[in-house]
Amino acid sequence: MTVFKAFLKVLNKNKSPIILYTVILICFGAFNFQTNDKSISFVADKPDVYIMNNDEEEGITKNLVNYLKDNSNIVELDEERLDDALFYRDVNYIVYIPKNYRNDFLNGKNPTIEVKSTTDAQASFEEMLLERYLKVANTLQGIYQDEEELIREINEVLETETSIELDSKVDVSSLAKATFFYNFLSYSMLAGVIYVICLIISSFNSRNVRKRIIISSMNYKKHNRILLLSNLLFAFTLWLIYVIMSIILCGKVIFTSGGIIYLVNSLLFTIMSVTLALLISTIVNNKDAINGIVNVVALGSSFLCGAFVPVEYLPSFIIKIAHILPSYWFINTNETVKYLEVFNFNSLKPVIINMGMLVFFSILFIILNSIISKRKQIID
Amino acid sequence: MFRHNFWYSLKILFRSKALIFWTFAFPLILGTFFYMAFRDIEKNEKLDVIDIAIVDNEEFKNKQDLVTTFEGLSKGDNKLFNISYVSLEHASSMLSNNEISGYLLVTDEENKIIVKENGVNQTIFKYVLEEIDTTKRIVNDIVANSTKEFTDYENIYQNAIKLYNESEANIEDISTTNLSYTMIEFYTLIAMTCLYGGILGMTAINKCLANMSSVGKRVAVSALSKLKIVLSSLCASYIVQLIGLFLLLIFTIFVLKVDYGPHIFKVILLSVVGSLAGLSLGLMLGAVFKVKENTKLGLVISFTMLGCFLSGMMGITMKYMVDKNVPIVNKLNPANMITDGFYSLYYYDTFNRFYFNIVSLLIFAFLMIFIAFISLRRERYDSI
Amino acid sequence: MKKIIEVKNLTKAYKKLKAVDDLSLEVYEGEILGLLGPNGSGKSTTINCILSLISFNKGNIKIFGKTIKPDSYDIKKDIGVIFQEVAVFEELTVYENIDYFCGLYIKDKEKRKTYVDDAINLVGLQEFMTFYPKQLSGGLLRRLNIACGIAHKPKLIFLDEPTVAVDPQSRNNILDGIKKLRDNGATIVYTTHYMEEVEILCDRIIILDKGKILANGTSDELKELANIEEKVTVEVENLKESTIEKIKEFKTVDEVEFSNNVLIVTYKKGKNNLVELIDFLKDEKVVYNKIFSERPTLNDVFLELTGKELRD
């Protein structure tokens, strides 16, 4: 009990970094959930477009504007901030309709339409749409002289609707939220656990305190066992807090079979974090160095394994490197669960392999830890 | 004696491992992480070849226009699709394994696309099917309005297709080429390094003040004037800071291939002014607050991280949202002044915004220095 | 004698607490002045005021005949200070630390080099010149602390409890060093709450309590104040109440204490007290083992003046 009390006291002194990492997790979670809310029913993913119409909105000009409105998502923007909006992808495509467009077009001049584009897939698609319209309009302009008739014909040609069917039983959007949360959790968990455990162990390990513990009447091995248990208890509590947070943020999806996998997976990850933290605390004795190491280890594995940037966006050579990091296997499970529809041995095989890897890493760290600490004892 | 204190301050700063880690090594490490994580993000957003499947039943094979169109779109350098021609069951399982974005099922009644989620790939798939319809209709339209004899149908038909295909959409892209938004990440990194320089300024000032540290007491009773001591210490920390910053700049330019735009001297000007802002921030915190050195360190780091968060380090949209909705916050945020300065050099052709940021940084720096010197002018303390 | 420091009616108050209360003192050239007093008696505050580090409410302070202000660099040039806490840079070696602080006074490089070497020799750190402070033991660190304060050969040196928590060997080294400094012509103000040090070292002693001067004089002059001539301690095996009463009736005896087989007899004045007591004990057939006599200490002086011990 004494050891545990001392543990709690040291923990209490170092609570601010834990709170910091947790607050970051909540902030990022909440911020990203809001921007990431798409419905499950199929709506054509329309590009965001801004139309800068310098012509009168009448006749053929109005028809062009209407066509763009129907096929894309028109955004309202401050005219002075258009360039910023384009840079930050608030708008994918800006269309400048020139002055006298209507007259020039009707006279067969094929006026230039200026555009600004983010050149991503959305913008490319918008360009296809605009191109189609202009080609159709130009072609028909040579045939029909009357503006009203021309407009009617253009619209008739362009009016199409292909039937599209959504074939998925998985609630991808809410699972995507949970996946995002648990991926990000790998950062907060790793940073929090390593930071606290290293600090606490280095406090208990500082030369004089350690001497005092060794000469005390308590069995040194027993003392270390209690310390290990306290660390595990702390990590478990942290895990529990994060799970409760995930339930609040993601809702009932956590209680589905996919959600259970998230829980088991993150629990394994927590245990792995504890073993890694113990290993680091054995190697590094300097309190000042801990802060730097925590940041490098936690940020490094989070960036390289896809906790911040989705895995599918990472360069393939980075993903190869990431295989040697436990976070990769943790995140891989989360990503798999996102698309998992049936739960049988075959579909769960990758998940089981990933979890096996986490267990493997935990054992590896424990073995390394005992080898290194034995060596250090001899040197001491 | 100015030089004496200056050299020793340099020595002291270069030898403190924690300082050197946070101001030199950490930005380099973080920058490398950024580079590795964000390298391909924009490439992935470009239109990629889309994997689809087509159920190769009799109905599909009978629709010649569909067969040729999709064949055309899956060939050549600019191909749009990778197409697998498979059975319905196979297509369905490919879809559930995320091997394809969707598949086409042709029946007698309609052409149907089956997808699992909505995204731009699926929309383009749909667009292509629609395009086939459109072409059919416009050709029919042209043929119907043709004045030529009905007997020459094939010729008219070919002409109509040619007419449509050759009609040109007169679109001109006038956007600048510097559109890589991940650059913002690296700009916030520079901003972070500039402001972290405040730690150096703070350390330097702490050792000069009798009420901050015990060495400060010793320095205060010495025969060297306070102004000389403070100025030479600040010069030393500024030099250390600039060395760290230029190492980072060189590293980002040559190793991480960060693009700062064509105006290299303005980039250097901004770095120098940004560092000054960081230094003055540290000076102010060091001179005004009488708390433990670790607490001050925490103050500088939290202020910097908050500033970088608001200027887009943890998500570029953040900067845009703040700029758009509460511009005043980022106009007062030195991290954003630096980030925005680099951004305007990279993205804009005009320099108004750049100079606005430079002036803001200078005002910020002088305000900080002003506050610090008012506090430093107190020559005797009430207590130590 | 030339007055090096002249403090008149100095008062320094923190809110309602008066740390220094209407204090006046003088320090003469070439002497070692001891400022003795318990923790919180105002010793450090007085020194900080003299050094113009902190503001004070009332009073006037002159050093070398000139009023000192925070920017009196010509006065500060000739002052050396060794503070209670060790004030050195972790990042600099022993030699570099001394050189840095010396360089705040001495511009000339050649001169500075000989000065730094002298300081290192004085405190005996020759073997540790390239060590970093972290590698030094507590006593060596204190010596470095002193070397940093006196390397520029100041005419006036303040030492604020330089021997707190120092091992005996280092302490002797430090005390010898201080004597050498005085022999080289420096004036020294030495604050401590170790009375033994003051007795060995100081030419003159000022006893402070609650910001006021209680006594001022040489060690012997102060002991007069204690109103005690001699204190005799005897270890006895058997002692009757009646014997104690008889001892109390001796003419010169001031006080008799007896507990745990130890008899302490305090004499106010008189000579041959010890012989008298031994004869008496023989007559009374008291068996005794050890017996010794001691002169009053400064602690007794302090006890007499304030009614409390110097050290708690």
Query: What does the pLDDT look like over B185-229, one tens digit per residue?
Result: 999 999 999 999 999 989 888 888 887 888 888 888 888 888 889
The Cα B1–Cα C79 span in angstroms is 17
Asked if pLDDT for residue C284 goes beyond 50, the answer is yes
Residue B210 lies in a domain: yes
Token readout for A158 is 């362009």
State whether residue C1 is helix, strand or coil: coil
Cβ proximity of A53 and A67 under 8 Å: no
Task: List, in order of start, the domains of chain A with CATH numbers.
Answer: 2-37+171-379 (no CATH), 48-158 (3.40.1710.10)
Domain-ending residue, one of B164, B193, B212: B164
Residues B346 and B329 in one domain: yes
Neighbours of B3 (CB within 10 A): 11
Token readout for B172 is 């001109």
Angle formed by the axes of helices A15-35 and A220-250, to 10°? 20
Residues B151 and B189 in one domain: no
Q: What is the mean pLDDT of each run of 10 residues along chain B (384 residues)?
A: 91 89 91 89 81 89 84 83 89 84 85 81 84 83 70 74 80 86 92 92 86 85 87 94 95 93 93 96 88 78 85 84 90 95 93 95 96 83 74
Cβ contact (<8 Å) for B112 and A164?
A: yes
Q: Which residues on B lie below 8 Å from A110 (Cβ)? A: 168, 170
User: In chain B, how many domains are there?
Assistant: 2
Cβ contact (<8 Å) for B18 and A296?
A: no
pLDDT band at C200 (very low <50, low <70, confident <90, very high): confident
Domain-ending residue, one of B139, B164, B189: B164
Query: With a CB-CB cutoff of 8 Å, which residues 70-109 of chain A face chain B?
Result: 78, 81, 83-90, 94, 96
Share of chain C above pLDDT 70, in %: 98
pLDDT band at C311 (very low <50, low <70, confident <90, very high): low
Quote the domain boundaries for residue B347.
2-41+181-377
Residues B187 and B127 in one domain: no
**Within 13 Å of residue A23, how many CA atoms lie on the same side as its CB?**
7
The Cα A151–Cα A64 span in angstroms is 9
Relative to beta strand A113-117, strand A163-166 is: unpaired
Residues B309 and B236 in one domain: yes
The Cα B10–Cα B232 span in angstroms is 10
Domain over C3-224 is classified CATH 3.40.50.300: yes
Q: Which residues on B lie below 8 Å from A313 (Cβ)? A: 40-41, 44
Residue B176 lies in a domain: no
Q: Which of B38, B46, B114 sits opposite A119 (nearest CB)?
A: B46
Residues B330 and B275 in one domain: yes
Cβ contact (<8 Å) for B137 and A156?
A: yes
The Cα C262–Cα C285 span in angstroms is 16
Span C229-295 CATH architecture: 2-Layer Sandwich (3.30)
Neighbours of A352 (CB within 10 A): 11
Residue B36 lies in a domain: yes
- C18: closest CA among C60, C52, C38, C46? C46
Alpha-carbon gap: C73 to the closest alpha carbon of chain B (Å) = 5
Query: What does the pLDDT look like over B275-315, one tens digit per residue?
Result: 999 999 999 988 888 777 777 877 888 888 889 888 988 77
Q: Give the model's pLDDT for residue A28.
A: 66
Q: Give the model's pLDDT for residue B253.
A: 94
Q: What is the pTM of this model?
A: 0.84
Tell me the CATH number at B134: 3.40.190
A167 shares contact with chain B (CB less than 8 Å) = yes
Cβ contact (<8 Å) for B1 and C88?
A: no
Residue B170 lies in a domain: no
Query: What does the pLDDT look like over C220-273, one tens digit per residue?
Result: 888 877 777 788 888 888 778 888 888 888 878 888 888 888 888 888 776 677
Residues B72 and B134 in one domain: yes
B138 shares contact with chain A (CB less than 8 Å) = yes
Cβ proximity of B128 and A132 under 8 Å: no
Residue B237 lies in a domain: yes
B169 shares contact with chain A (CB less than 8 Å) = yes
Write the ipTM.
0.84
Domain-ending residue, one of B164, B197, B218: B164
Alpha-carbon gap: B226 to the closest alpha carbon of chain C (Å) = 8
- B230: closest CA among B182, B282, B178? B282
Spell out the domain ranges in chain C. 3-224, 229-295
Residues B34 and B51 in one domain: no
Q: Exposed (0-12), middle (13-18) or buried (19+): which is A82, by Cβ within 10 Å?
A: middle
The residue length of chain B stands at 384
pLDDT tens for chain A, residues 1 to 380: 777 788 888 788 777 777 777 777 677 666 655 554 433 334 446 889 999 999 988 889 999 999 999 888 898 888 888 889 999 888 889 999 999 999 998 888 889 999 999 888 888 889 988 998 998 888 888 888 888 888 988 888 888 767 677 666 555 667 777 888 888 888 888 988 998 888 888 877 776 677 777 777 777 777 778 888 888 998 999 899 989 988 888 888 888 888 889 999 999 999 999 999 999 988 887 777 888 888 889 889 988 998 877 888 888 888 899 999 999 999 999 988 887 777 788 888 889 999 999 999 999 999 998 888 877 766 55
Residues B212 and B249 in one domain: yes
E strand or H helix at A272, and its extent?
A: helix A257-283
Does C touch A (3+ CB pairs < 8 Å)?
Answer: no
Q: What residues contact residue B304 under an 8 Å CB cut-off, 6+ apart? A: B192, B195, B196, B198, B335
- Substitution target in B3, B7, B218 with the highest count of C β-carbons within 10 Å is B218
Q: Give the model's pLDDT for residue B163.
A: 79
Residues B224 and B299 in one domain: yes
Residues B100 and B194 in one domain: no
Q: Give the model's pLDDT for residue A40.
A: 35
Q: Give the model's pLDDT for residue B44.
A: 78
Residues B105 and B210 in one domain: no
Residues B85 and B196 in one domain: no
